[in-house]
Amino acid sequence: MSPENKAPAAPAPSDFIRDVVEKHVAEKKYPQIHTRFPPEPNGYLHIGHAKSICLNFGIAHEFGGVCNLRMDDTNPTKEDIEYVDSITEDANWLIAGWADKNLGLKPKGKTPDTITSNGKADFQLAPIPNSELRTPNSGSAEPFYASDYFDQIYEYAVALVKKGKAYVCDLTPEETDEYRRQAKESPYRNRSVEENLDLFTRMKAGEFPDGKRSLRAKIDVTSPNIWMRDPLLYRIRHAEHHHTGDKWCIYPMYDFAHCLSDYIEGITHSICTLEFEVHRPLYDWILENLDLPRPLPHQYEFARLSLGYTVMSKRKLMQLVNEKLVSGWDDPRMPTISGIRRRGVTPEALRNFAYNIGITKYNGITDVAVLEHAIREDLNKRAFRRLAVLRPVKVVITNYPEGKTEELDAVNNPEDESAGKRKVPFGRELYIDQDDFKEVPPPKFFRLKPGGEVRLKYAYIVKCDEVVKDANGKIMELRCTADLDSKTGGATANRKVKGTIHWVSAAHAIDAECRLYDRLFTEAEPEKDGRDFKSVLNPHSLEVVTAKCEPSLKDAKPDLRYQFERLAYFALDKDSAAGKLVLNRTITLKDTWAKEAQKK
RNA sequence: UGUCCGAUGGUGUAAUGGUAACACAGCGCCCUUUGGAGGCGUUAUUCUUGGUUCGAAUCCAAGUCGGACAGCCA
């Protein structure tokens, strides 16, 4: 295929944040665009994070910049190394082959350099340059950690104290709350610099118990924005940190650590979700009051993703895991990146989805159909077609010789000629799906029925002569005759019959455990009107069947995708072993017959 | 209650003072050895009121509705 014939690349995305970046690039405001993706390692990444990853890495990718992966780990009591590892893996999976060249990592163990910028002392930690290895956690590179800057952030706090812009406060958490609500100054607000310095040093040294004192910024307790009413900068927490161990017993708050981490890393555009909008004045205040010599980062906010038929908050996802309502963070029904990956969705599909939904400041609920469309569109192009029967009914072709086997040609992917062909065995005894036979067919039923004809895909046209039942009336087998001239190339091959169904040869079929996943909730908005989201869990979100599959599926590969013709897309699950196939249903094919049948 | 933010078909977005468009969903037709895919067509939209203007989704004002925040969480 010549390059001209290739489908045009999707136009570069455009939104209000990219407009700003584009303007800055045109003005040459920064030497390089530098974003960051900064999750707290207190849970697994979900599809909402995927939106953020696509935005931050997308901007770096489109404007020739860098996007740092950073663990925002300033609260030791909630974080864990398990999450650091999963976040690294998930982020890397999503950007692989796309923006991996723009991924900012740092040398393992490296902390900020103390440098001189414009004649002033400065802290800086640059990513490893483009040319070097950027695979996370392999060899010499690793993500950034806010906790690697605790020394520098402490220095910045001391600087604020010395400038009279921060003070040690002895109010209890409850009192602090009350004072802030009432716009009252803390009685400790006007301590001397010397006393503040002494107390802050002793806080760091571990002289005081948790909650006894805090470091607060001295801004304006009457500000209409509560975040400017002398916010906390440091709290005492005698707790072991997953990355810094027991070195610290005071930890900076998000607001203090985040802007400074951005600055230290040389971030130009700090993009976060809408709930931080009211924090932006504080973000700016801290940076502007520290006499920093390099250009300051700026914060931009966008609406987080809400998706129908699922929940997104880490707290609720954690609840589903802990209460064993799902099998784990990577249960294929979970909206986590690891769950979505295990389900069989590709990173390309997820990226296309992120592209399609756009970036705005409006809090809407995205229809899952948009996600499902992106998944089907991607899988349709790449999946190998296979014949498999989920709920088998036996069919005997009475005019087909016993013991005879034919190897019939079947295309691997009608969308992609280069995917080639394979052989599927045909014999006298077959399985078809229960749904493809109706003894009393409804109107417009194009499949097999008593006395009716149907095409067996890639094989013959058959007619159902007899329905054999057991004593209870259960269908045991369907006895059919084939038009033996009707297979491809035969005399009657072009005869038109209304329906075509899939099948497998009973003698050659192999078994596979198929896990049929459906949406986790029965309601588009599980928490609407404050109801308990667990009360609307879909009891049928997982059904397990043993499918009869064409024999070529024994070589199924974990990185390939399969379409069981006329049914759904499947991917190999990690529970598979030699001789034991386990397949996850990623998503069904569109089923216009089901829709038609529903109209009754 | 205060502060901030937002409002365009059923849903999500575009139009940056000049013909309201795209995708998904829906509906209809064509095609089809997948009731898949594809093709064609179609339904349906600027929160309200006032103002500025030759002209407003866009600018201004007031209102209405919705969201976020008000942790020593991030």
* Closest nucleotide over all strands to A370 (CA to C1'): B24
First to last CA, chain A: 46
Q: Give the pLDDT confidence score for residue A477 in this predicted structure.
A: 97
By DSSP bridging, strand A500-501 and strand A453-456 are parallel
Query: Distance (Å) from CA A282 to C1' B3?
Result: 13
Instruction: Kindly tell me if the per-residue pLDDT of A557 is higher than 60.
Output: yes
Q: What is the pLDDT of residues A124-174, one digit of tens each?
A: 999 997 645 555 555 789 999 999 999 999 999 999 999 999 999 999 999
pLDDT at residue A441 greater than cutoff 70: yes
- Distance (Å, whole) CA A408 – CA A418: 19
Find the Å distance, CA of residue A226 to C1' of nucleotide B4: 11
**Cα distances (angstroms) measured from residue A498 to each of A156, A233, A453, A461:** 76, 72, 8, 11
Rounded Cα gap, residues A298 and A61, in angstroms: 19
At residue A388, the pLDDT reads 98
Q: What is the pLDDT of residues A385-400, one digit of tens each?
A: 999 999 999 999 999 9
Which residues have C-beta within 8 Å of that of residue A295, sequence separation ≥ 6?
A: A29, A30, A268
**Residue for token pair 């303007």:** A23
Cβ(A550)–Cβ(A388) below 8 Å: yes
Segment A238-248 shows an average pLDDT of 97
A184 carries an active-site annotation: no
Nucleotide with C1' nearest the A374 CA? B24
pLDDT in tens, A410-421: 999 999 999 999
Candidates A270, A263, A200; CA nearest to A234 is: A200
3-state secondary structure of A136: coil
Q: Are A61 and A247 in contact, with CB atoms under 8 Å apart?
A: no
Residue with CA nearest C1' of nucleotide B38: A415
- Distance of A16 CA from B49 C1′ (whole Å): 29
> CA–C1' span, A171 to B74, in Å?
23
Nucleotide nearest to A272 (CA to C1'): B74
Structure confidence at residue A134 (pLDDT)? 53
CA-to-CA separations, A421 to A101, A195, A530, A552, in angstroms, rounded: 36, 81, 53, 11
Given A189, A304, A423, A438, which residue is catalytic? A304
Residue A9 has pLDDT above 70, yes or no: no
Calculate the angstrom distance between C1' of B37 and CA of A380. Answer: 8
pLDDT mean over A177-186: 95
| 3-state secondary structure (DSSP) of residue A497 | coil
Tokens standing for residue A333: 């029904």
Write down the pLDDT at residue A3.
31
C-beta separation of A199 from A168 below 8 A: yes
Phi-psi region of A592 (alpha: psi -120 to 50; beta: other; left: phi over 0): alpha
Determine which one of A22, A40, A372, A477 is catalytic. Answer: A40
Reply yes or no on whether the pLDDT at A526 is more than 50: yes
Q: Choosing from A36, A216, A229, A314, which is the catalytic residue? A: A314
Q: How far is the CA of A421 from the C1' of B44 (A)?
A: 44
C1' nearest to CA of A78: which nucleotide?
A: B73
Of A485, A436, A339, whose CA–CA distance to A43 is shortest?
A339
Residue A121 three-state SS: strand
What angle, 0 to 180 degrees and rounded to 10, lies between the N-to-C axes of helices A47-62 and A81-95?
A: 50
Q: Which nucleotide is nearest to A596 (CA to C1')?
A: B35
Report CA(A282)–C1'(B4) in Å, whole number.
13
Residues of chain A with pLDDT > 90, as a percent, come to 94
Q: pLDDT confidence of A12, banded at 50, 70, 90?
A: confident
A401, A428 contact by CB (below 8 A): yes
What's the CA gap between A521 and A526, in Å, rounded?
7
pLDDT confidence band for A458 (50 / 70 / 90): very high
Reply yes or no on whether A463 is catalytic.
no
Confidence of residue A283 (pLDDT cuts 50, 70, 90): very high
Residue A531: which pLDDT band, with cuts at 50, 70 and 90? confident
- The closest alpha carbon to A478, from A395, A399, A397, belongs to A395
Tell me the nt nearest to A445, Cα to C1'.
Answer: B35
| Cα–Cα nearest to A152, from A106, A173, A121 | A121
Residue A234 has pLDDT above 90, yes or no: yes
Tell me the DSSP string of A524-542. SSTTGGG--GGGGB-TTSE
Q: What is the pLDDT of residue A132?
A: 56
**Residue A19, nucleotide of least CA–C1' distance:** B16
Closest among A295, A296, A292, A297 to A120, alpha carbons compared: A292
Using a 7 Å cut-off to protein CB atoms, list the covered nucleotides of chain B.
2-8, 10-16, 23-27, 33-38, 66-74
Instruction: Record the pTM.
Output: 0.95
CB contact burial A458-468 (16+ within 10 A = b; e otherwise):
bbbbbbbeeee
**Distance between the alpha carbon (CA) of A445 and the C1' atom of B41, Å:** 26
A458 closest-nt by C1' vs CA: B33
From its phi and psi, is residue A287 left (phi > 0), alpha (psi between -120 and 50) or beta?
A: alpha
A304 a catalytic residue: yes
CA of A306 to C1' of B57 (A): 25
Q: Give, in Å, how far the C1' of B67 lies from the CA of A425.
A: 59
| pLDDT for residue A7 is more than 50 | no
pLDDT at A599 over 80: no
Confidence of residue A600 (pLDDT cuts 50, 70, 90): low
pLDDT 10s digits, A63-102: 999 999 999 999 999 999 999 999 999 999 999 999 999 9
Q: Using a pLDDT cut of 70, give the percent of chain A over it.
A: 96
Q: Which residue is nearest to nucleotide B72 (CA to C1')?
A: A235
d(CA A49, CA A394) in angstroms, rounded, equals 47
H-helix or E-strand spanning residue A310: none
Residue A462 confidence (pLDDT) above 50: yes
pLDDT at A238: 98
Q: How far apart are CA A151 and CA A384, in angstroms?
A: 54
